Amino acid sequence: MTTDTAADGILSVNQIVAIEALNSESSANESSADLTASSRCAEYSQAGFLAYLPGAFVAMRGSPANAFETATAITIWQAYEATTRPSKVPQYQVVSSHTGGGKTLAATALIAYLSNTSRAKCAFLTETVAEVETAYRRLIKLVPASKVAPDLGSRQMRGSIRGAAEGARG
């Protein structure tokens, strides 16, 4: 077994060590405004996303991604990239990891990164209204609220959300 290379999306020991070094260099004081400004200038690439990731995790939860969560984020980036390739067959990518493996935080960071670097429009699908609120609270730490849910202030949207919340309780 070699520690220098990895195949089929599996990270090598050296790659994991490099991820740990990248995460340890992250500043725990990076603000949402700094993240937004720095990602706008960043190159749209996996390397740019990985440079953005530690600060995004800090903004969302107060600590950078660990090596496993960063590996999960790399897998999510690769799944996203796979869906952008031309294909005659609809592309679906599954990213499987245990609870707490960083899938949701990495997906949230990817949405923010894409929004800030390539102006991509993204949707974050959840099962419950409570999960919508959690996703919204995380995203506004990385992206201006006006870009996350520009119509949230409308009376009709507030009524829809309130109705959904009441329906979930009833």
Are 47 and 63 spatial neighbours (Cβ–Cβ below 8 Å)? no
Instruction: Provide the domain limits for residue 107.
Output: 13-123
Q: Determine the distance from the C-alpha atom of residue 15 to the mean position of all C-alpha atoms in its chain, rounded to a whole number.
A: 20
Whole-number pLDDT of residue 73 = 94
Structure-model confidence comparison of residues 150 and 102, the more confident one: 102
Q: Looking at the domain assignment, is residue 139 inside a domain?
A: no
Cβ-count burial of 105 within 10 angstroms (0-12 exposed, 13-18 middle, 19+ buried)? buried
Q: Is residue 143 part of a domain?
A: no
Q: Does this model's pTM top 0.85?
A: no
* Average pLDDT of the segment spanning 5-31: 51
Give residue 168's pLDDT band: very low, low, confident or very high (50, 70, 90): low
Q: State how far the Cα of 79 lies from the Cα of 69, in Å rounded to an integer.
A: 15
In a domain, 163, yes or no: no
Per the structure block, which two tokens stand in for 158? 């507030």
Range name among 65-74, 118-127, 132-141 with the lowest pLDDT average: 118-127
Q: Is residue 165 part of a domain?
A: no
With b for 16 or more beta-carbon neighbours within 10 A and e for fewer, the 53-65 pattern comes to: bbbbbbbbeeebb
pLDDT in the model for residue 162: 54
Give a yes or no: residue 132 inside a domain. no
Residue 157 lies in a domain: no
Indicate the number of domains in the chain.
Answer: 1
Band of residue 163 on the pLDDT scale cut at 50, 70, 90: low
* 137 lies in some domain: no
Does residue 170 fall inside a structural domain?
no
Give 81-136 pLDDT, tens digit per residue. Answer: 888 888 887 777 778 888 888 999 999 999 999 988 877 788 888 888 888 889 88
